[in-house]
């Protein structure tokens, strides 16, 4: 509300009997001082946040004042007037002292797009009157407290009505006015009051430490967005940025849920009641978009060792020397670091793509699963290595059909072929000996023998020939056994290539 405050001059006006004022009178006369105020501070006595508020339930639309509804129809007169959401009942601090609450006005929020913040009960806001309507804007900073910056003594001083004392100070908890809160008045006693139906003052919420040029958005609850640049140590940069075009090296820090105050590092100018800085490791959830020489302080909570050069896995044989040349990088330059207790990425109707110009690494202390309804395709132009004590292809942990070991199987089949070749040699020898005995003359040292008939003699010759061919076939099969081993797929776990069990995770 625009208003004027007139301060009378302190000297009595000099009244001259003559009609013309003397030169001295004109020079020394002090005019009244007029102070003009367009905005006036006001204390919030009530606020409508939802349709359950009793005042809201008394407000109905005027169909002529509203556009068509969501279905294109004309609003009905008996429909609720949702423009009352966000309105506050207020008391002007200067011009409405001592005025009873039921005679006070309602004000709409001045902004209904962009950054919108509804105040708490007992907040002090700035109120202005435009086109016969009262509007309120941002709250007045009374104590520089992020969670709630109110002074319960203001309504006690401005109301000067006994009912207001009872309503805003010292009353017990109630569904209507919420829990009592204690906050020290500026230069006054420790008054009690209410901040809303359920809002409780949290003295542990801290404001962010500011750096030159920063722009920050901070809520009452420990969430914030900071638009800044550089590191805490500004000496590492000349202020123009660390890139060739001097385009600056900004950062944007998103933080949701302030870390426990006791976890912050204390430094110059920091007290238990002071400010905090963002912590990628301690805050509830964080997104840090940084650039330049700013090095992220991110530290993983995983105990599983990332496959890399110079640091061995829990089982050293899983990462032998020369298996990779990857080294963990310095976390600086243009980057985005996201850290939280849980991350969910979802494509509701379309694809999800992950592209990485260099290594794409995933580390977990627990399970890593990929589930696909149709197919899974793995393609590489070099090699694929799976280090695991057990590998199951097919049914989960179905140990009834283990995979044959290549070299072990070839060695076993090679021995079988040699045994069969030896058996074939024995059969050939016996056939030839039997045939030779039966086609010679009578041997005086043996029993009388009858020479075989011609057809049996031919069959024995054919039998020996067949045995010789079987022997050659076995030799050919045996010599081809190495071709059964894949040159691209290898398994471990027994036989000539025993494999290794995984190591135990070491806690940090």
Rounded to whole angstroms, the Cα distance separating 262 from 253 reads 21
Question: HEC string of 295-356?
Answer: CCCCCCCCCCCCCCCCCCCCCHHHCCCCCCCCCCCCCCCCEEEEECCCCCCCCCCCCCCCCC
Beta bridge pairs of residue 33: 7
Which helix (H) or strand (E) covers residue 182, if one does? strand 180-184
What is the distance between the alpha carbons of residues 153 and 173, in angstroms, rounded to a whole number? 18
pLDDT tens for the 508 residues of the chain, in order: 455 566 655 444 444 444 455 555 555 555 566 656 688 999 999 999 998 899 988 887 776 667 777 787 776 767 788 889 999 999 998 888 888 888 999 999 998 888 889 999 999 999 999 888 999 998 898 888 888 888 888 887 787 655 554 444 444 444 333 455 555 433 344 557 788 888 888 888 888 988 888 899 999 999 999 998 876 665 655 556 777 777 788 899 999 999 887 655 544 444 445 788 899 999 999 999 998 888 899 999 999 999 999 888 888 888 888 888 899 999 998 999 999 999 999 999 999 999 999 999 999 999 999 999 999 999 999 888 888 887 777 777 666 666 777 877 888 888 888 888 888 887 877 777 776 766 554 444 555 555 566 766 777 777 778 788 888 888 888 888 888 777 777 777 665 555 677 788 887 7
With tokens 């090296």, the residue in question is: 249
- Given the structure tokens 């809201």, which residue do they identify? 56
Got the DSSP string for 32-90? PEEEEESSEEEEEEEE--STTSTTGGG-B--GGGS---TTSPPPPTTSB-GGGTT-EEE
CB 195, CB 181: distance < 8 Å: yes
DSSP β-ladder status, 285-290 and 40-47 = unpaired
Please answer whether residues 47 and 87 qualify as being in contact, where contact means their C-beta atoms are separated by less than 8 angstroms: yes
Q: For residue 90, give Cα distances in angstroms to 39, 107, 243, 451.
A: 13, 7, 52, 135
**What pLDDT is recorded for position 12?**
44
The per-residue pLDDT for 98 is: 86
Taking only Cα atoms into account, the Rg of the chain, rounded to an integer number of angstroms, comes to 45
Contact (CB, 8 A) for 92 and 40? yes
CB 157 within 8 A of CB 168: no
Q: Which residues contact 184 (CB under 8 A, 6 or more apart)?
A: 190
Q: Please give the pLDDT value at position 177.
A: 38
Region of 213 (left: φ > 0; alpha: ψ -120 to 50; beta: rest) is left
Cα–Cα distance, 90 to 303 (Å, whole number): 56
- Give me the pLDDT at residue 319, please: 85
Cα angle 374, 379, 384 (rounded to 5 degrees) comes to 115
* CA angle centred on 105, ends 104 and 110, rounded to 5°: 145
Residue 159, SS3 per DSSP: helix
The pair of structure tokens assigned to 392 is 């199951």
Rounded-to-integer distance, Cα 265 and Cα 184, Å: 28
Residues 6+ apart with CB under 8 A from 250: 227, 228, 229, 291
Through-space distance between the first and last CA atoms of the chain, rounded to whole angstroms: 62
The secondary structure element, H or E, covering residue 41 is: strand 40-47
Question: How is 249-265 classified by DSSP, letter by letter?
Answer: -EEEEEEESPPPGGGSP
Query: For residue 142, what are the CA distances in angstroms to 43, 124, 153, 202, 218?
Result: 12, 8, 12, 16, 16
Paired tokens of 89: 């009942």
CA–CA distances in Å: residue 422 to residues 414, 415, 469:
12, 11, 14
For residues 19 and 88, the answer to whether their CB atoms sit within 8 Å is no
pTM: 0.74
Report phi then psi at 65, rounded to 5. Answer: -95, -5
CA pair distance 309, 322, nearest whole angstrom: 8
Q: Cα–Cα–Cα angle for 144, 90, 80, nearest 5°?
A: 115
């Amino acid at each position: 509300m625009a208003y004027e405050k007139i301060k009378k001059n302190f000297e009595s006006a000099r009244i001259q009997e003559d009609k013309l004022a003397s030169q001295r009178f004109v020079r020394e006369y002090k005019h009244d001082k007029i102070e003009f105020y367009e905005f006036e501070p006001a204390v919030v006595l009530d606020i409508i946040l939802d349709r359950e508020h009793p005042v809201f339930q008394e407000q109905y639309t005027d169909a002529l004042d509203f556009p068509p509804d969501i279905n294109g129809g004309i609003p009905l007169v008996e429909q609720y007037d949702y423009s009352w959401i966000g309105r506050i009942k207020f008391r002007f601090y200067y011009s409405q002292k001592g005025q009873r609450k039921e005679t006070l006005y309602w004000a709409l929020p001045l902004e209904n797009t962009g950054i919108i913040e509804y105040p708490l009960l007992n907040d002090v806001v700035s109120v202005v009157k435009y086109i016969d309507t009262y509007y309120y804007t941002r709250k007045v900073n009374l104590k520089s407290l992020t969670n709630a910056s109110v002074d319960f003594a203001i309504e006690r001083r401005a109301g000067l009505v006994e009912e207001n004392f009872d309503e805003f100070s010292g009353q017990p908890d109630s569904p209507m006015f919420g829990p009592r809160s204690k906050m020290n008045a500026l230069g006054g006693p420790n008054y009690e009051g209410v901040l809303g139906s359920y809002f409780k003052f949290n003295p542990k919420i801290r404001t962010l430490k500011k750096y030159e040029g920063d722009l920050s958005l901070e809520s009452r609850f420990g969430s914030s967005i900071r638009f800044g640049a550089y590191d805490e140590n500004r000496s590492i940069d000349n202020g123009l940025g660390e890139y060739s075009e001097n385009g600056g090296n900004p950062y944007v820090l998103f933080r949701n849920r302030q870390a426990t105050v006791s976890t912050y590092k204390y430094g110059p100018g920091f007290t238990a009641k002071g400010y905090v800085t963002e912590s990628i490791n301690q805050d509830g959830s964080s997104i840090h978009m940084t650039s330049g020489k700013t090095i992220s302080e991110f530290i993983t909570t995983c105990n599983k060792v990332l496959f890399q050069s110079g640091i061995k896995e829990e089982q050293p044989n899983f990462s032998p020397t020369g298996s990779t040349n990857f080294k963990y990088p310095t976390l600086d330059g243009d980057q985005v670091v996201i850290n939280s207790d849980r991350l969910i990425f979802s494509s509701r109707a379309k694809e999800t793509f992950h592209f990485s110009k260099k290594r794409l690494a995933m580390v977990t202390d627990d399970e890593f699963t990929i589930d696909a309804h149709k197919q899974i395709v793995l393609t590489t132009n070099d090699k694929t290595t799976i280090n695991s004590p057990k590998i199951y292809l097919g049914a989960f942990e179905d140990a009834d059909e283990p995979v044959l070991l290549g070299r072990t199987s070839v060695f076993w089949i090679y021995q079988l072929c040699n045994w069969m070749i030896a058996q074939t040699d024995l059969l050939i020898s016996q056939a030839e000996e039997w045939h030779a005995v039966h086609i010679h003359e009578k041997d005086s040292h043996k029993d009388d023998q009858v020479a075989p008939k011609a057809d049996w003699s031919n069959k024995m010759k054919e039998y020996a020939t067949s045995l010789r061919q079987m022997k050659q076939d076995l030799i050919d099969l045996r010599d081809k056994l190495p071709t059964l081993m894949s040159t691209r797929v290898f398994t471990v776990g027994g036989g000539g290539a025993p494999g290794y069990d995984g190591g135990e995770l070491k806690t940090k």
